[in-house]
C-alpha cells in the first residue's frame, strides 16, 4: 500500500520556473508495493535441534554416516518450503483499454499440507479481466510461489491468491484454478497414487457472467 506523508523534492534552475513535483516516487510506492510476510525468519539452529529429536524419536540411528547431517538438511529444506521471497507486485496503466481475458497457465505450485507437513505439488492457472491496471506477467508466478510457501490446505491457497489479485488490481474479474497431487494421500493413508485435487476461486464477471465463466473454465480444462 502507498506510504503517506512523503514529500516530493522540487528543484529550480536560474532564470526558469520551478520544475513540477516529480510524481514517480509516490507512483512507484502505489503501483509497485513490496509484498512480504510479517512473521519472523526461521531459527535454523532450533529447527535442527528439533529435527534431531524427532528423527531420534522415530528410531533412526543418527550416528549412521548417511544420516549424521540429515537434521541440518531437513531443517533447511523445511525452512525453504515455508519461507517466501519478497517481491514487488508491479502493475501498469491499462492505456489500451484491454478488457479481454488474460490467462497464465501451468504456474508451478509447491506447498505443504498443514495436517501432515507433506508436500502437495501441481500447477495453477490464473486469469483476470483487466480494469484500470494490468499486471506484469512474471508476478503471477511470484505471487503463486509467495502464497505457496506455508503449511495450508489447497482450498485456502487458491482463495489467497485470488483475494490478493482482487485487492491489488480491482479488476473486472479474477479466476484461479489449482490442480495438485497430495503426497499425504498418495504416499500414506489411502495411497491413492496419481490422484489430482482441483480447486477454484472466481470473482467478479468470471463468477457472475456465465459466458466469461465458461470461457475461463473451458480454457483451463482444454489445456489440461
Per-residue pLDDT of the chain (224 residues; tens, 9 = 90+): 444 333 333 322 333 334 344 445 555 556 788 898 888 889 999 999 999 999 999 999 999 999 999 999 999 999 999 999 999 999 999 999 999 999 999 999 999 999 999 999 999 999 999 999 999 999 999 999 999 999 999 999 999 999 999 999 999 999 999 999 999 999 999 999 999 999 999 999 999 999 999 999 999 986 65
Q: Give the pLDDT of residue 115.
A: 97
CA 223 vs. chain centroid, Å, equals: 21
| Residues labelled as active-site residues | 113-116, 154, 182, 184
Q: Give the pLDDT of residue 15.
A: 34
For 155-174, b/e burial (b = at least 16 CB within 10 A) is: eebbbbbbebbbebbebbbb
DSSP element (H, E) containing 199: strand 197-204
CA 40 vs. chain centroid, Å, equals: 18
Three-state DSSP at 45 gives: helix
The Cα 147–Cα 22 span in angstroms is 34
DSSP element (H, E) containing 177: strand 173-182
As given in the structure block, the three cell numbers for residue 182 are 497430495
As given in the structure block, the three cell numbers for residue 192 are 491413492
Axis crossing angle, helix 44-57 with helix 70-81, rounded to the nearest 10: 120
Q: Give the pLDDT of residue 46.
A: 98
Residues 6+ apart with CB under 8 A from 41: 83
Residues 6+ apart with CB under 8 A from 136: 90, 91, 92
Beta strand pairing call for 151-152 and 102-113? parallel
- Classify residue 88 by its DSSP letter: E
Three-state DSSP at 61 gives: coil
The Cα 2–Cα 27 span in angstroms is 8
Amino acid at each position: 500500500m502507498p506510504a503517506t506523508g512523503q514529500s516530493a523534492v522540487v528543484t529550480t534552475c536560474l532564470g526558469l520556473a520551478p520544475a513540477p513535483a516529480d510524481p514517480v516516487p509516490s507512483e512507484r510506492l502505489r503501483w509497485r508495493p513490496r509484498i512480504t510476510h510479517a512473521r519472523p525468519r526461521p531459527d535454523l539452529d532450533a529447527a535442527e535441534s528439533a529435527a534431531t529429536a524427532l528423527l531420534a524419536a522415530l528410531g533412526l540411528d543418527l550416528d549412521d554416516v548417511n544420516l549424521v547431517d540429515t537434521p541440518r538438511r531437513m531443517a533447511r529444506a523445511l525452512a525453504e518450503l515455508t519461507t517466501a521471497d519478497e517481491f514487488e507486485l508491479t502493475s501498469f496503466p491499462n492505456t489500451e483499454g484491454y478488457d479481454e481475458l488474460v490467462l497464465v497457465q501451468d504456474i508451478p505450485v509447491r506447498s505443504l499440507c498443514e495436517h501432515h507437513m507433506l508436500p502437495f505439488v501441481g500447477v495453477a492457472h490464473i486469469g483476470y479481466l483487466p480494469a484500470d491496471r494490468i499486471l506484469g506477467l512474471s508476478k503471477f508466478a511470484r505471487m503463486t510461489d509467495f502464497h505457496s510457501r506455508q503449511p495450508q490446505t489447497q482450498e485456502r491457497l487458491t482463495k489467497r491468491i485470488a483475494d490478493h489479485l482482487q485487492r491489488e488490481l480491482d479488476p473486472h474479474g479474477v479466476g484461479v484454478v489449482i490442480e495438485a497431487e497430495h503426497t499425504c494421500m498418495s504416499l500414506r493413508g489411502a495411497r491413492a497414487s496419481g490422484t489430482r485435487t482441483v480447486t477454484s476461486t472466481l470473482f467478479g464477471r468470471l463468477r457472475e457472467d456465465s459466458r466469461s465463466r465458461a470461457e475461463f473454465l473451458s480454457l483451463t480444462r482444454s489445456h489440461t
